[in-house]
Amino acid sequence: MNPVTTASHMLIGGDLVASESGDWIDSIDPATEEVIGRIPAGNARDVARAVEAADRAWAAWNGIGVAARAEALRAFGRKILERADELLEVEVRDTGNTIAPMRGDVRTGVEGINYYAGLAYELKGETIPATPGNLHFTVREPYGVVARIVPFNHPVMFSTARTAAALMAGNSVVVKPPETSSLSALILSEIAREALPPGVFNIVTGTGAGAGAPLVRHPGVKRIAFIGSVETGMAIQRMAAESAVKHVTLELGGKNPLIAFPDVDPATVIDAAIAGMNFSWQGQSCGSTSRLLLHESIHDEVVAGLVERIRAIRVGDPMDPASQMGAINSKNQHDKVLRHIAAAREDGARLLAGGGRPDGEQFRKGFWIQPTLFGDVEQSMRIARQEVFGPVLSVMKWSTLDQAIAIANATDLGLTASIYANNIDDAFAAARRVRSGYVWINSVGPHYPAMPYGGMKNSGTGREEGIEEMLSYTEQKAYNLAMRK
- Active-site positions read 251, 286
Q: Cβ contacts of residue 304 below 8 Å, gap of 6+? A: none
Is 308:300 a contact under the CB 8 Å cutoff? Answer: no
Q: Beta strand pairing status for 201-203 and 223-227?
A: unpaired
Report helix, strand or coil for 39.
strand
Pairing of strands 15-17, 10-12: antiparallel
Q: Is 145 helix (H, G, I), strand (E, B) or coil?
A: strand
Phi-psi region of 225 (alpha: psi -120 to 50; beta: other; left: phi over 0): beta
One-letter identity of residue 373: L
**R_g of the chain computed on alpha carbons:** 23
- Strand pairing category for 350-353 and 372-375: antiparallel
- Rounded to 5°, the CA angle 380-386-391 comes to 115
DSSP state, 121? G
- Cα separation, 150 vs 180, in Å, equals 11
The Cα–Cα gap between 252 and 459 comes to: 5
Nearest to 254 by CA among 419, 385, 153, 372: 385
Q: What are the helix (H) ranges across 96-200?
A: 99-118, 155-161, 164-168, 183-195
- DSSP letter, residue 358: P
DSSP string, 424-472: HHHHHHHHHHS--SEEEES--SPPPTT--B--EETTEES-BSSHHHHHT
Alpha carbon distance 84, 67 (integer Å):
26
The candidate with the shortest Cα–Cα distance to 298, out of 350, 351, 272, 261, is: 261
Bridge partners (DSSP) listed for residue 293: 259, 396
Sequence-separated (6 or more) residues with CB below 8 Å from residue 277: 283, 288, 289, 290, 371, 391, 393
Q: For residue 15, what are the contacts with CB-CB under 8 A and spacing of at least 6?
A: 193, 198
